[in-house]
Structure 1
Amino acid sequence: MGLFGLTQSEDDKRATEVRTGAVAPLRAERQKCWMTRDGYFACLDANNIVDALKDEKKAASACKIESAAFERDCATQWVTYFKKWRVQDIQKKARLKELEAQGANRLDVQTDFKPR
């Protein structure tokens, strides 16, 4: 550590670079991000919060520790993306459940293309 602790360790510097998007996260860093994201989402679920962006104050007070870990371990753009993705995923699942209740049939769709 430098004079009076003013310099960052290499790990802290790397974490800052990942959060800001200056470097791409490594596999272990991505896995750590996903793990803290899942913990944050579990906290939101336990507190009946769907949209952490819309209900920011409620989410911040209910999931303070999980939110801090999520924001520490993930790139800033990822945090926003995952929060938006969560809302869309919940809405999609609810819509599919409605359609199935109305008698819609689920179709298995292949999304990769095979050469002929």
Structure 2
Amino acid sequence: MGLFGIFSSSADEGDKRAQEVRAGAVAPLRAERQKCWEARDGYFACLDANGIVDALKDEKKAAKACKSEAADFERDCAAQWVTYFKKWRVQDIQKKARLKELEAQGANKMDISTDFTERK
């Protein structure tokens, strides 16, 4: 290790770990998952504010409206998670709309939660 290696090793290790998490080479730690969820929630809030449901289908509109939030989301989450969460969002919105339709038709409501974003 040279003289300059002393000053850059911890920053380089952090960048390397972030790249490994992003690529799916290592599992994210609890703090890294929390950071990902926060970035996801910020991105989804931006999509909501701009009336965008499907960020994959409306990719250009989402990129334009939520550029910084998307950058944070993609930086802080594993690539596979980003795609998964974008698909999950569409399914969750469709599920909630269908449940609302069923309730309007008189279906009995059951108290069951399948929403993983509700942390206790």
TM-score with structure 2 setting the length:
0.84
| Number of residue pairs the alignment of both structures matches | 107
- Stretch moving more, 99-108 or 89-98: 99-108
Counterpart for residue 35 of structure 1: 38
Structure 2 gaps of 5+ residues are: 115-120
Counterpart for residue 85 of structure 1: 88
TM-score with structure 1 setting the length:
0.87
Counterpart for residue 117 of structure 2: none
Identical pairs, percent: 82
Post-superposition Cα deviations, 1:54-98, rounded to whole Å, max 9, x if no partner, equal: 000000000000000000000000000000000000000000000
Map 1:35-54 → 2, pairs under 5 A? 35-54=38-57
CA-CA distance at 1:106 after TM superposition? 1.2
What letter corresponds to residue 37 of structure 2 in structure 1? W
CA distance in 1, matches of 2:45, 2:113: 30
What letter corresponds to residue 25 of structure 1 in structure 2? P
CA-CA distance at 1:107 after TM superposition? 2.4
CA distance in 2, matches of 1:91, 1:34: 21
CA distance in 2, matches of 1:68, 1:23: 21
Post-superposition Cα deviations, 1:36-71, rounded to whole Å, max 9, x if no partner, equal: 000000000000000000000000000000000000
Structure 1 gaps of 5+ residues are: 112-116
Counterpart for residue 114 of structure 1: none
Map 1:1-116 → 2, pairs under 5 A? 9-108=12-111
CA distance in 1, matches of 2:34, 2:87: 19
1:79 counterpart SS class: helix
CA-CA distance at 1:109 after TM superposition? 5.3
CA distance in 2, matches of 1:101, 1:109: 18
Please tell me the root mean square deviation across aligned C-alpha atoms, in Å.
Answer: 1.9
CA distance in 2, matches of 1:33, 1:66: 11
